[in-house]
């Protein structure tokens, strides 16, 4: 089976590649990434690969992992790269609320146009399955735990971009009989995240750099933190799910406040004899959801997936990776 991963050099993509390499069913992994916010650094620590600056000659490579530098907003390239591909895992995105507010056009182009390009290419080239990385942000500020059928009313452009493609996936599945799977991720964290601006990564980098730990708001906001190793296991299971038009929540179903997360990280940091810098509370970000946790009941029953890594274990494993890799 040949898998194409957009955004495959990023945080989740790197974890997914490391996972897929252990699976005999996967004959080749084609990574498409524009390297604007990533590099081959993570991949170099995982496996050998062939890198191509453009689409010329990449098909001649017999390497199990191939990287092509390309932008997802280029439809012609998307259509070429998806030929003879069995499954697309679309991870490429301008992730996060901040950039969707500061530069909504860039967010729209990547998250909507870029994703549509690969969905349409999947249709044209008879790709067997299309996995779309969505987010709990599509729900907006509602009381958790959110179930799949909740009304989707995003409160930031980022959530709107994800909702737009969710709708396209659902429509393409019904009209064109394409097997689409929408995976709504909660707050992912884990290895290969030193470039990320996620809460866990930011807190760890602040500790290692001895810089103030910044908390948006009063620290009582809740998030549902899922370890990347668990998350990519769900992606793999989704590839082989035979039903079409699936929606699954990839999360733990457990709310954790920012203050609780920091408390966990402090305890683990003391274990490794790390100093905890000052803590600074600033105003909450515009478009930030106050509470966020996704129900996993449907996912557990129909995808037969459930998280295995506790937040204490996951945060410690993440910190240990940073201690070895962060500079």
Placement of tokens 């182009």 in the chain: 109
Query: Which residues, including other chains, have CB under 8 Å from residue 86's CB and lie 6 or more apart?
Result: 1, 2, 3, 127, 128, 129
Give domain status of residue 33, yes or no. Answer: yes
Q: How far is CA 139 from CA 153, 287, 302, in A?
A: 5, 12, 21
Give domain status of residue 267, yes or no. Answer: no
Q: Across the 327 residues of the chain, what is the mean pLDDT of every consecutive 10-residue run?
A: 98 98 97 94 97 91 96 97 98 87 92 98 97 96 91 93 97 96 97 92 97 93 97 97 93 97 97 95 82 95 98 98 91
Per-residue pLDDT, 324:
95
Rg (CA), the chain: 19
pTM of the shown model:
0.96
Residue 110 DSSP code = I
Give domain status of residue 318, yes or no. Answer: no
Asked if the peptide bond before residue 116 counts as cis, ω within 30 degrees of 0, the response is no
Per-residue pLDDT, 141:
86
Q: Identify the three-state secondary structure at position 82.
A: coil
Q: Which domain holds residue 89?
A: 2-190+226-251+294-308
- Among candidates 93, 103, 180, 178, which has minimal Cα distance to 137? 93
pLDDT digits (tens, 9 = 90+) for 235-267: 999 999 988 889 999 999 999 999 999 999 999
Q: What is the CATH number of the domain that holds 87?
A: 3.40.50.720
Give DSSP secondary structure letters for 127-168: -SEEEEEEEGGGG-S-PSSBPTTS----SSHHHHHHHHHHHH
- Among candidates 230, 158, 137, which has minimal Cα distance to 189? 230
Give domain status of residue 220, yes or no. Answer: no
Q: How far apart are CA 133 and CA 247, in angstroms?
A: 10
Cβ-contact 91, 5 below 8 angstroms = yes
Placement of tokens 């012609």 in the chain: 76
pLDDT digits (tens, 9 = 90+) for 74-123: 999 999 999 999 999 999 999 878 888 888 999 999 999 999 999 999 99
Placement of tokens 């799910």 in the chain: 241
Which ranges of 47-103 would DSSP assign to H, the alpha helix?
75-81, 97-102
Query: Which residues, including other chains, have CB under 8 Å from residue 10's CB and lie 6 or more apart?
Result: 33, 37, 38, 91, 92, 195
Give domain status of residue 245, yes or no. Answer: yes
Cβ-contact 307, 252 below 8 angstroms = yes
Backbone torsions φ then ψ of 296, nearest 5 degrees: -110, 5
Per-residue pLDDT, 95:
85
Give domain status of residue 15, yes or no. Answer: yes
- Among candidates 124, 123, 127, 100, which has minimal Cα distance to 111? 100
Query: Which residues, including other chains, have CB under 8 Å from residue 140's CB and lie 6 or more apart?
Result: 152, 153, 154, 155, 159, 289
Q: How far apart are CA 181 and CA 89, in angstroms?
A: 10
Q: How far is CA 202 from CA 56, 94, 132, 265, in A?
A: 38, 18, 26, 12
How many separate domains does the chain show? Answer: 1
Give domain status of residue 104, yes or no. Answer: yes
Strands (E), the chain: 2-6, 28-33, 50-52, 65-69, 87-90, 129-135, 179-185, 187-189, 213-216, 222-223, 225-227, 246-250, 256-257, 279-282
- Among candidates 39, 108, 110, which has minimal Cα distance to 74? 110
Give domain status of residue 205, yes or no. Answer: no
- Total count of residues recorded for the chain: 327
């Amino acid at each position: 089976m040949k898998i194409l991963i957009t955004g495959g050099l990023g945080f989740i993509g790197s974890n997914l590649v490391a996972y897929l390499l252990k699976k005999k069913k996967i004959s080749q992994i084609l990574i498409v990434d524009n390297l604007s916010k990533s590099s081959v650094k993570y991949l170099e620590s995982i496996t050998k690969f062939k890198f191509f600056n453009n689409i010329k000659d990449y098909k001649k490579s017999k390497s199990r992992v191939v990287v092509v530098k390309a932008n997802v907003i280029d439809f012609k390239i998307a259509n070429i790269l998806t030929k003879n591909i069995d499954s697309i895992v679309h991870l490429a995105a301008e992730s996060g609320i901040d950039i969707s507010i500061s530069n909504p056009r860039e967010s729209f182009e990547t998250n909507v146009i870029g994703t549509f390009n690969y969905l349409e290419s999947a249709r044209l080239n008879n790709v067997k399955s299309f996995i779309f990385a969505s987010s709990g942000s599509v729900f907006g500020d509602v009381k958790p735990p959110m179930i799949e059928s909740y009304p989707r009313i995003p409160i930031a452009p980022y959530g709107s971009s994800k909702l737009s493609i969710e709708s396209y996936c659902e429509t393409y599945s019904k009209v064109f009989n394409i097997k689409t799977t929408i995976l709504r991720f909660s707050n992912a964290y884990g290895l290969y995240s030193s470039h990320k601006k996620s809460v866990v990564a930011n807190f760890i980098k602040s500790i290692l750099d001895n810089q103030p730990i910044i908390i948006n708001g009063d620290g009582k906001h809740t998030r549902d933190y899922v370890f990347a190793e668990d998350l990519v296991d769900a992606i793999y299971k989704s590839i082989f799910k035979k039903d079409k038009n699936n929606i699954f929540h990839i999360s733990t179903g457990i709310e954790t406040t920012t203050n609780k997360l920091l408390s966990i990280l402090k305890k683990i940091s003391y274990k490794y004899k790390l100093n905890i810098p000052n803590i600074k509370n600033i105003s909450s970000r515009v478009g930030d959801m106050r509470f966020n946790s996704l129900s996993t009941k449907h996912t557990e029953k129909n995808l037969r997936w459930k998280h295995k890594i506790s937040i204490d274990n996951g945060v410690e494993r993440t910190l240990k990776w940073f201690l070895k890799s962060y500079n």
